[in-house]
Amino acid sequence: MAELTTLREGIADLVRDGDTVALEGFTHLIPTLAGHEIIRQRRRDLTLVRMTPDIVYDQMIGMGVARQLVFSWGGNPGVGSLHRMRDAVENGWPVPLEVDEHSHAGMANRYVAGASRLPFAVLRGYRGNDLAAQSDTIATITCPFTGDELSAVRAINPDVTVLHAQQADRDGNVQLWGILGVQKEAALAASRVLVTVEEIVDRLEPRPGAIRLPGWVVTAVAPVPGGAHPSYALDYSTRDNAFYQEWDAISRDREAFTAWMTEHVLDPAGAGR
Amino acid sequence: MSWTTDEMMTVAAARSLAGATTCFVGIGLPSTAANLARRTSNPGLVLIYESGTIGAKPEVLPLSIGDGELVETADTVVAVPEIFNYWLQGGRCDVGFLGAAQLDRFANINTTTIDRGEGRPPLRLPGAGGAPEIAAHAGTVLIVVRHSPRVFVERLSFVTSVGFGSGPDDRKRLDQPGSGPRRVITDLGVLEPDPETCELTLTALHPGVEVEQARQATGWPLRIADEFATTEAPTDDELAVLRDLQARTKEAHRARTA
């Protein structure tokens, strides 16, 4: 059964320097406050994996926790660029950042392979574009049955996957619903799984269409109400679109960004949430 | 009613969805046009977003592909591997609707990096997202983008999503199941692939736009189709619906929810 813990202890126990870490959540249920705790605990040299880096990885990259980014779409949705990610890739600030860029279909299938404990997944993708040439995790293979040329993408098996979900019970069984993303795949592909939740409930009510992660595939659960902000948890909060728009100005400038992070993330008053 | 060039572009893009059953929608201009189509030319249009929301019927335009508005109004919500593997790669999407940072004459798209010359690092764009497989697998592809020489370039810095590659035989050679880009709608007019060469050719201009403006805004020598049209101006109804949608969206996104 998963251990019930605090965010601070969960990150301290499960996320180590140099790890491959996936904070997943496709627009919905992004574990932003877990990202903040990783920043506060000064992890370094992480390989950050996420389909859509979003604000949480912009913040982590800007605070220097990452060495590599594995992703498929790195923008501020509907707003523009992720300025800290761009600055790291283009100018190496605050530290150089390697990237491994995939398509969404490729990344989703990499997680499927990881969860299936297969070395790679196969898809009809990447043909004729320039992505394969700059990535060592994309290759061409021939179907043994039809002779079709297909693309193989290497499995992703994170050292630790961090998710946010609506609910868990006291045995660490987790339930999440709404946009499902690659949550199940990212959890089952990982060696260790930390889930932050809106609330701990006595009993999880069965919900059609929800994802249930049994406590025996989860390492630890920490209650972190509001832990997805500015993303959201369906039926608990709504996406803070105004903040996504404000982030553009905050993150454009190195000093403004650092000041914002110091006040809102590093400041001890904000820690331990 | 008077209208802006952006409104003309969105209305023309929405009209291009008449007759489609399902549309895989990119965020931004494509999403605005697809939601306008659902309120005007094609009320039954099934909107599919890459977040796995199938049959979304949002009341306000989503800022992201994963706004709660999409989930709460969808017919069903599926996981991301499923949306790409079963529904897109499985050939269930009639039309893919994309934007572009750079586009070449064969409607190949770059959303990855742009070269800025010696001594400067390439400009980093958001990246591929769902576009490469939408471009490969959707039955046909529509592209909506503002017309400028920075966008319509002679040569892409990077090919992220394939249109017609380098000519008419490339989609078959590269095993792209869909038939490729059918139309590019801009704020100046409409470009369509030449039936023989697949090169994007100007087939219509919006009212009041001169051919020379389109030529100036295109980074390659733009060919003009033999059969050439002027787009019908937006109707009062189309404009009223679009403006109402945008006003409600602006109001909804302004509200802080922290």
Chain A residues whose beta carbon lies within 8 Å of the beta carbon of residue B177: 124
**CA pair distance A245, A242, nearest whole angstrom:** 5
Q: What is the mean pLDDT of residues A171-200?
A: 98
Residues of A in contact with B112 (CB under 8 A): 101, 130-131
Asked, for residue B191, whether it belongs to a domain, the answer is yes
The rounded mean pLDDT for chain B is 95
Q: Is B167 left (phi over 0), alpha (psi -120 to 50) or beta?
A: left
Residue B92, both tokens: 């269930």
What is the full DSSP assignment across B89-138? TTT--SEEEE--SEE-TT--EE-SEE---TTSPPEEP---BTHHHHHHHS
- What average pLDDT does this structure show over A134-144? 97
Helix A83-91 crosses helix A54-62 at what angle (to 10 degrees)? 40
**Interface contact B177, partner A, CB < 8 A:** yes
Structure tokens at B249: 């969206």
| Whether residue B192 lies in the annotated active site | no
Among partner residues A105, A108, A240, which is closest to B257 by beta-carbon distance? A240
Complex ipTM > 0.90:
yes
**List B50, B69, B133, B199, catalytic entry:** B50
Q: Per-residue pLDDT averaged across A66-76, rounded?
A: 97
Residue B32 falls within a domain, yes or no?
yes
- Distance, in Å, from the CA atom of B136 to the CA atom of A92, rounded to the nearest integer, reads 34
pLDDT at residue B63 above 90?
no
Contact residues, A window 98-127, toward B, CB-based 8 Å cutoff = 101-105, 108-109, 111-112, 123-127
pLDDT digits (tens, 9 = 90+) for A16-40: 999 999 999 999 999 999 999 999 9
Please report, as a single letter, which amino acid is at residue B207: P
Q: Could B256 and A82 be called an inter-chain contact, meaning their C-beta atoms sit closer than 8 Å?
A: no
Q: Does B85 reach chain A within 8 Å, measured CB to CB?
A: yes
CATH at residue B191:
3.40.1080.10
Please answer yes or no on whether A123 and B170 come within 8 Å at the CB atom.
no
Query: Does the beta-carbon distance from B80 to A180 stay under 8 Å?
Result: yes
Give the count of domains, chain B.
1
pTM given for the model: 0.96
pLDDT for res B255: 66
B162 vs A127: CA distance, rounded Å: 8
In chain B, whose CA is at the least distance from the CA of A182?
B80
**% of chain B with per-residue pLDDT over 70:** 98
Q: Which chain B positions have a beta carbon within 8 Å of A123's beta carbon?
A: 84-85, 89, 133
DSSP B206-258: -TT--HHHHHHT-SS--EEEEEEEEPPPPPHHHHHHHHHHHHHHHHHHHS---
**Interchain CB contact of B79 with A (< 8 Å):** yes
First-last CA distance in chain B: 39
Binding-face residues of B in 211-250 toward A, CB within 8 A: none
Would residue B189 count as lying in a domain? yes
Optimal mutation site among A129, A183, A248, interface B, most CBs of chain B within 10 A: A129
DSSP secondary-structure letter at B84? I
Residue B256 in any domain: the answer is no
Q: How confident is the model at residue B33 (pLDDT cuts 50, 70, 90)?
A: very high
Q: Is residue B43 part of a domain?
A: yes
Closest listed residue to residue A19, CA positions, set A53, A84, A65, A57: A65
Mean pLDDT confidence for A131-139: 97
Query: Do B130 and A103 make contact, defined as CB atoms within 8 angstroms?
Result: yes
Contact B39, B109 (CB under 8 A): no
Q: Select the residue of B88, B130, B161 nearest A129 (Cβ to Cβ).
A: B161
List of chain A residues whose C-beta atoms are within 8 Å of the C-beta of residue B124: 74, 81, 85-86, 89-90
- The structure tokens listed for B66 are 């994963």
Q: For residue B219, what are the domain limits?
A: 5-251
Mean pLDDT of chain A, nearest integer? 96
Task: Give the rounded percent of residues in chain B with a pLDDT score beyond 90.
Answer: 91
Closest CA to B256 of A76, A240, A235: A240
pLDDT digits (tens, 9 = 90+) for B87-138: 999 999 999 999 999 999 999 999 999 999 999 999 999 999 999 999 999 9
pLDDT tens profile B50-62: 999 999 999 999 8
Look at the domain A3-102+156-270 and name its fold: Glutaconate Coenzyme A-transferase (3.40.1080)
Confirm or reject contact between B137 and chain A (CB < 8 A).
Answer: yes
For every residue of A143-211, which 3-state class applies, written as one string? Answer: CCCCCCEEEEEECCCCCEEEEEEEEECCCCCEEECCCCCCHHHHHHHCCEEEEEEEEECCCCCCCCCCE
Domain map (residue ranges) of chain A: 3-102+156-270
pLDDT band at A269 (very low <50, low <70, confident <90, very high): low
